[in-house]
Amino acid sequence: MAFGPPALGYDRAITVFSPDGKLYQVEYASENIRKGWTTIAIKSDRGGVIVAEKRKIAPLIDVKSVEKVYAIDSHIGASFAGLAADGRVLIDYARQIAMNYRFVYDEQIDVELLTRYVCDIKQLYTQHAGVRPFGVSLIFLGVDRRGVRLFRTEINGYYFGYNALAVGMGEQAATQFLERNYDERMGVGEQIELALRALRASSEGPLDPYYVEVGYIDVKEAIFRKLAAEEIRKIASDTGVDR
């Protein structure tokens, strides 16, 4: 008797569990994250950074029109790995949540609360027929009343807090580099250098600063900002990741 693959019959709808308790559509969606452009985030008690790579997928594309690091509110930044369209929709949703929270309560939303709102939507898309999971993992970095916070959302709607993380196609190599070199006492400048070195370790060759975005937040100022291209180029030259 011929047998089909284990997922046969259980991967045709998001609402069907396999006998071993898996939702195969969720697992399939996670493949998009592993194929996404590498993104690295680091935090300490002094601040945090997000560093994301960009790639020129066609010769005539203007890379400056591609954005990977976003400001959600003045105190929160974000990035993602996976399907860019899904990431854009969830980034816009997070911005609406942050804006509505300010309007209703006249204060900034906590980073974890914002992450939970986004994960609630991601979880809903794993239990309704006729929809598919969001094929993207989002990273939220910010400063709130609890200090510097860094979270990653999963395909199934769960989330974890991190001190440092990497997502995307270079996740394994970058994570190993971060595990060896992370120091919880680092300042923002040291974190940017470490993130760039980790991104370099996960790439096949030297980094081109033109294809890198950097966002950071300092715990004292508590405002998320992005570095200009010239600033990234200088740091990349000083750290040697561009050669």
Render pLDDT for 126-140 as a digit per residue (tens, 0 to 9): 988 888 899 999 999
More confident residue, 51 or 7: 51
Please state, for a pLDDT cut of 70, what percent of the chain lies above it: 96
Task: Please report the pLDDT score of residue 121 as a whole number.
Answer: 96
- Please report the pLDDT score of residue 1 as a whole number: 40
Locus of tokens 């993130």: 195
- Choose between 54 and 5: higher pLDDT: 54
For the record, the structure tokens of 175 come out as 């994570």
| Beta pairing partners, 50 | 41, 215
Instruction: Work out the mean pLDDT of the chain and round it to a whole number.
Output: 92
Of 98 and 25, more confident: 98
Whether residue 19 has pLDDT greater than 90: no
Alpha-carbon separation of residue 214 from 60, 161, 173 (angstroms): 24, 20, 19
Domains of the chain (ranges, CATH numbers): 38-239 (3.60.20.10)
Q: Give the Cα separation of 232 and 193 in Å (integer).
A: 10
What pTM was computed for the model? 0.92
- pLDDT exceeds cutoff 60 at 3: no
pLDDT of residue 11 exceeding 90? no
Q: What is the pLDDT of residue 9?
A: 67
The single residue listed with the structure tokens 């993992």 is 137
Residue pair 164/178 in contact by the 8 Å Cβ criterion: yes
Query: Residues near 27 by Cβ (< 8 Å), separated by ≥ 6?
Result: none
Q: Round to whole Å and give the CA distance between 184 and 77.
A: 20
